[in-house]
Chain A
């Protein structure tokens, strides 16, 4: 190979550098730990199974906002037949009254910064 004695070490260094995050994580044994969330104490169930919520809440909220604002759809019927208003502030946050230890602790850890709260008002007394 033309100039192999320069290219090969260069390639090795390059590969080493770009895979740095991978092997650094493995070697330093740092693990992702899911943050401890403050859950509502007086509520037994969420409007959807918590597992689904964890993965899908952003799609659900997006869906709600379009339905509520644009289609004039107000209510959401849960799988058990219970009827809720489709409202972040008046439904979600009425149970999850601690935004800091609920929304924020996960979002911050995962470097997600949704801009809901520039307009929507976080529940009082827990800020």
Chain B
């Protein structure tokens, strides 16, 4: 069978038309299924008892933290749950830690009452709505969960470049300069949660692993009600009620990162 050039061109034209037509149909179907506006990402299969929220937030009642033991209890609860190694000095690792007023807020007034200036403020990752750490991470190891606003870390992907540490205006991130294992008390190690390895950055995760099991974050549980946690998008949540009835501030709002952690002063 011999094909003329004419036959070949006809065939090629017909093929091109079919491809173009099928693409048009496909594109239309896609546009129809997407609906209006960008799709909100949804988490995968969950337990029924998991806690759900679309924007997790925290309200810390700083007036309640007059007892240094309560502060320590919250810090320990977090650090023991997540196997955070104990290293002193500039290479220390911390997910949540106490600081005084001057270290916490950049807006300073003269002659503050001592009770405020000397108060312990618990600091942690603010799970910013507009997180600079996520913007700079070259591997997307740090990312924002589209469905509940938590700024999460994928330790498998972190290359330890520490861009995120430079970007975070709150010092919420710590770097593992060493293998952390020798600095974790073997007897107190939580066998249900991994440690980290040398060369990765770590920070508070708002206890994603506990929320998935229907539990409140470890520090919230340890705080005897001094730390509230809930969905900022839900007007009936404990955090929203606290925000509506008490005066609160966030850290360094002028930077536009939109922290999700609020402090009752």
- In whole Å, how far is A37's beta carbon from the nearest beta carbon of chain B? 22
Q: Which A residues lie within 8 Å of B44 (CB)?
A: 67, 71-74
Q: Which B residues lie within 8 Å of A90 (CB)?
A: 192
- In whole Å, how far is B179's beta carbon from the nearest beta carbon of chain A? 8
**Which of B46, B152, B193 is A75 in contact with, Cβ under 8 Å?**
B46
- B147 & A72 in contact (Cβ 8 Å cutoff): yes
**Which residues in window 12-69 of A have CB below 8 A to B?**
65, 67, 69
Number of A residues, CB within 8 Å of B:
20
Interface flags for A70-81 (1: CB within 8 Å of B; 0: not) read 111111110000
Within 8 Å of chain B (Cβ to Cβ): is A112? no
* Chain A residues close to B by CB (< 8 Å): 65, 67, 69-77, 89-90, 115, 118-121, 123-124
**Which of A65, A72, A118 is B145 in contact with, Cβ under 8 Å?**
A72
State A75–B46 Cα separation when bound (angstroms).
6
Chain B residue at minimal CB-CB distance from A77: B45
What does DSSP make chain B's interface, helix, strand, loop or mixed? loop
Most A CB within 10 A of own CB, among B45, B46, B208 = B45
- In whole Å, how far is A113's beta carbon from the nearest beta carbon of chain B? 14
Q: Which A residues lie within 8 Å of B191 (CB)?
A: 89, 121, 123-124
State A89–B156 Cα separation when bound (angstroms).
15
